[in-house]
Amino acid sequence: SFARLLRTSRLATYDPRIPQVYTTFGRHRHVGDWGLKRNLPTTVRTNVITVQALDTAEHQTPFDSAQGQIWQLERWKEAFPESRPPRARDVNPPVNVQRLKASEWRRFVRKAETRKNEWRTAVRSGQAQPDEHLRFLNATYQPATETGERTVSSIAVGPWYDWHQPEKRAVRGRALNRVTNGYAVGVGGIVALLPLHKALTMGALTPVVNTFYIDQMNIDENGRPEVQLSLANTSRPFSSDLSF
């Protein structure tokens, strides 16, 4: 509806406290239509802008090019991608239907009955194959051997845990100058900090490109990037199995 369209329009959602980047495409750009109160000059060369105000006393819409912000964001994503933790180990191992007792088998069948429509939908959509019914039910079939050897699923194992310390990402940069608490390092157009206590092996300040490792990275409340580097990659993943 028109009311919903108006509520979600750029004109209605504009907030001068947020340096929002606006863009326009195709024929709208040719006529200066940016979805604001008035059209902007058609001579604007960029297709990304920030707007300081929708209107002024002079009946103008002041704006600036946002191309520099876009480039900076692209450099940030390229040099400092988001670190993702590893996927947690499955806490529900497959059920071996061959070893189920009669009561457990009946419960298993009742649970499978409640998921039949979900199974049919998965097969029709191609998310599952007709012969993958056991995997769909998180089950398996492992018959016991004639010698009485226990199957893998019947062997008791100890708890497993993981303390994840992700590998530090390596970046290439150049030390620019000394600052109060370390060195300013240029990495992809962003100035990072190499703390003094982590630069003991830095040596003389030279304009040579070196390899650094990211310790911390974030965007502060004013939208400025904050990156802290080190010269050593000391983090390593650690895991352990405890058997009793």
Residue 237 has pLDDT above 50, yes or no: no
Domain that holds residue 16: 2-65
134, 139, 144, 150 alpha-carbon torsion, rounded to 10°: 150
Q: Mapping DSSP to helix (H, G, I), strand (E, B) and coil, where does residue 218 land?
A: strand
Nearest partner of 45 among 32, 56, 36, 55, judged by Cα: 32
Q: What pLDDT band is residue 240 in, cutting at 50, 70 and 90?
A: very low
| Residues 175 and 131 both lie in one domain | no
Residue at 160 is within a domain = no
Nearest partner of 195 among 168, 228, 170, 218, judged by Cα: 228
Number of domains in the chain: 3
Residue at 30 is within a domain = yes
Write the pLDDT tens digit of every residue in 57-97: 888 888 889 888 888 778 777 777 665 555 555 557 788 88
Residue at 14 is within a domain = yes
Residue at 6 is within a domain = yes
Residue at 54 is within a domain = yes
Residues 183-204 have a mean pLDDT of 82
Q: What pLDDT band is residue 164 in, cutting at 50, 70 and 90?
A: low
Write the pLDDT tens digit of every residue in 97-124: 888 888 888 998 999 899 989 988 888 8
| Residues 52 and 7 both lie in one domain | yes
Nearest partner of 186 among 169, 209, 206, 204, judged by Cα: 209
Residues 168-174 have a mean pLDDT of 84
| Residues 6 and 59 both lie in one domain | yes
Query: CB under 8 Å to 19, separation ≥6 — which residues?
Result: 50, 69, 223
| Residues 55 and 94 both lie in one domain | no
Residue at 206 is within a domain = yes
Q: Mapping DSSP to helix (H, G, I), strand (E, B) and coil, where does residue 147 land?
A: coil
Residue type at 217?
A: M
Residue at 139 is within a domain = yes
| Residues 191 and 224 both lie in one domain | yes
CA separation for the pair 230, 242 (Å, rounded): 34
| Residues 138 and 191 both lie in one domain | no
Give the CATH number for residue 179. 2.40.50.140
Residue at 85 is within a domain = no
